Chain A
Amino acid sequence: MITRRTAFLGAAVAALVATAPALAADDLKLPRQAIELVAPPFVHQHEQATKEGPKIIEFKLTIREKEVVIDDAGTKFQAMTFNGSMPAPMMVVHEGDYVEVTLVNPEANTMPHNVDFHSATGGLGGGALTHVNPGEQVVLRWKATRTGTFVYHCAPEGMIPWHVVSGMHGTVMVLPRDGLKNREGKPLRYDRVYYIGENDLYVPKDANGKYKSYDTPGEAFADTTEVMRKLIPTHVVFNGKVGALTGKNAMTAKVGETVMIVHSQANRDTRPHLIGGHGDYVWETGKFINPPEKDLETWFIRGGSAGAALYTFRQPGIYAYVNHNLIEAVELGASAHFKVEGEWNNDLMKQVKPPGPILPGKSSAADAVVQTR
């Protein structure tokens, strides 16, 4: 039996809960799930759609300042990273989940760091609440209120761009609880997912035009900033290094498989293109509440965002996945490869005649078509 007074009290308690969600997550008794992150281009296991209710998803990001090699010539680079990879690992959660990140800045590092999640609300994306000095850690929780692919990055005052172009950026993918949909509301699924993070790098050169190397990030700061301010990168690479996703590290797929490619650029615009393929469904801005575009040849990723594309491979062979500013792809390094196994489809493509001498007087296939008209 509910009296008027208890009903009123109940409403007041409900209102209190509604106005104080920050202290609610644990009080709500949500289940917790800890997820081990994996290095790009791979993505940790996840459900594409879930019947379960919201959870608190725990991730750990450990900051690693380290020297890396960024090209075939052995150019050394003072990188700053989350978990040691460029880009940082991709985190996948579902809408309504709470993301609880433990950010660790080990003693061995030289600088304070923090993290700004584009998918989080308030507090500079968490940047205001996550400053950690070497030898400290911090725990931040934020609610995944909107779906899509979102960049996260380090954002320490006064040095934001330098930390970002030194490697401190990754992506969060917030999936709708009932999965991805096309424009008509039909479910879309993928067989594989790859995460490509594009890095624009600015490496100083000496008087002879040779790339300079430094012992610590701090020593590289002044020269690097000078190069950055000219806005012309010396390297534009996928996953931290020229050739990180080619040759033995080429991404793989099979004919008939649908692959999701998440592409992030935390600093600068880019335009991915799959040579010999397409974007069947593309969320160019990466936000799944907007219907995906169809059949794109090239898609635009705004600096400071991540986009997602689905493609079902129809033909075997080698596919180049490039930034279709081809100067950046070929001269600066922004190229990846897919190696796709399967059976060749002659209907889609056939070499009708191999290269040979130009035969004067003989009608070519093109002439024949004209004659039939």
Chain B
Amino acid sequence: MLLAMKIKIAITAAALASPVALTVAPVASVGHSTADSAITLIAARPFQYRMAGDFSRDGKPAEAPLREARLSGDVKIMTSQVTSREYAHCVDDGGCPRIPRAPEMADRPVVGVSWRDATAYAEWITNKTGVLHRLPTDEEWVFAAGEKARDEALPLADPVDPAQAWIARYEAEANRVRPLAFDPQPIGTFGRNENGLDDIGGNVWEWTNTCFLRMMLEQTGAAQVTNTNCGVRVVQGAHRTYMTDFIRDPRTGGCAAGVPPANLGFRLIVDAQLPAFYRIVEEVALKLRAKL
């Protein structure tokens, strides 16, 4: 364990020296591959971000402002989505709810998981490894997804004639491209993005930790939260959407239109909770890099 940490620090330091992302694996092998996912480190840099949620200005629906953002630190995130095999270890260990799965899909992304399941997995692997694992925020996900993140600004409803925007949104949603395959595919099928992450925007959408927010935009451009619903979380993938946290199998039907996420899965952020000594080393390394 300690050895693994040391290796990780060394690699982290190496990565810090380089502006490009670096993939390392494995991060911390404990017993029977409880955490055999490769981790990718992506150095912080500015990126364009449009907040998730519903926005209004003067009582009318408004588009969320597109802003230049920068995360407070680098992002360490699983290179690929958590697989069925990895999830099964958590189930066998009593840490995760059992979900139905086909045995031939063991090395493919686990799907049919709710936010609650994904969170249970994060807690379990955190306890198992001593390294904090958690779902990314929507902002972190968009940053990590890079050019594969979709900034889909849908038409806004005019309260005087809500039907026009409604029809336009319906058409935009109906025009979304359906994934070619419905079943989860082998890791890497949907390609690698410029940050080195596999299968972003493929046929498995990923849970984030970001709650659904309703926000009022003030004249100054500042956003004021008027309602927070953490029973609904942002889901990211080929398009951004919102899902109730216990949903495992997204579908439209009834009044909803368009293409729902084909599958719900996840990948985790790995926040190193290192012993104080190593944390200091890392901070020094970060500061050094900031000066470069």
Please give the residue numbers on chain A whose beta carbons come within 8 Å of chain B beta carbons, in ascending order.
Answer: 72-74, 208-210, 242, 246-248, 250, 275, 315-318, 320, 322, 326, 329-331, 333, 335, 337, 339-344, 346, 350-351, 353-357
Contact = CB atoms under 8 A, between A and B. Distances in A.
B258 A247 contact: yes
B102 A344 contact: no
Given A335-B253, A350-B159, 19 more contacts: A72-B182, A72-B262, A73-B182, A74-B182, A246-B174, A247-B174, A275-B254, A316-B167, A317-B162, A317-B167, A318-B170, A330-B251, A331-B251, A333-B253, A335-B254, A340-B163, A344-B160, A344-B161, A344-B164
A212 to B, nearest CB: 13
Contacts of B164: 316, 344
A244 to B, nearest CB: 12
B167 A208 contact: no
The SS class assigned to the A binding surface is loop
A250 B166 contact: no
Contact of B178 (A72, A318, A330, A355): A72
5 contacts: A208-B103, A326-B254, A331-B251, A331-B253, A344-B161
Contacts of B253: 242, 329-331, 333, 335
Given A250-B174, A330-B251, A354-B56, A344 B257 contact: no
Contacts of B182: 72-74
B175 to A, nearest CB: 7
A354 B159 contact: yes
A337 B252 CA distance: 12
A346 B56 contact: no
Contacts of B227: 355-357
A356 B226 contact: yes
A318 B178 CA distance: 21
Nearest to A355: B214
Contacts of B163: 315-317, 340, 342, 344
Contacts of A242: 253
B255 interface: yes
Nearest to A319: B255
A333 B220 CA distance: 46
A317 B164 CA distance: 7
Highest count of chain A CB atoms <10 Å: which of B170, B253, B258: B253
Given A209-B100, A356-B226, A246 B257 contact: yes
How extensive is the interface on chain B, given as a class? 35 or more
Given A331-B253, A357-B227, A339 B167 contact: yes
Cβ-closest 6 pairs across A and B? A247-B174, A316-B163, A317-B163, A344-B161, A330-B253, A330-B254
Contacts of B94: none
Interface string B148-173: 00000000000111111011001101
Interface of B: 54, 56, 59-61, 100, 102-103, 159-164, 166-167, 170-171, 173-175, 178, 181-182, 214, 226-227, 251-255, 257-259, 262
Contacts of A210: 102
A72 B182 CA distance: 8
A190 to B, nearest CB: 22
A305 B170 CA distance: 33
Highest count of chain B CB atoms <10 Å: which of A72, A320, A342: A72
A121 B102 CA distance: 52
B174 A248 contact: yes
A354 B215 CA distance: 12
Highest count of chain B CB atoms <10 Å: which of A247, A250, A330, A351: A247
A351 B162 contact: yes
Contact of B257 (A72, A330, A337, A356): A337
A73 B180 CA distance: 10
Nearest to B180: A74
B224 to A, nearest CB: 10
Nearest to B225: A357
A72 B256 CA distance: 15
Contacts of A341: 167
Given A316-B167, A355-B227, A357-B227, A344 B162 contact: yes
Nearest to B169: A318
A247 B102 contact: no
A350 B100 CA distance: 45
A136 to B, nearest CB: 40
B75 to A, nearest CB: 33
A355 B251 CA distance: 25
Contacts of A346: 160
A339 B255 contact: no
B175 A248 contact: yes
Given A316-B167, A344-B161, A354 B59 contact: yes
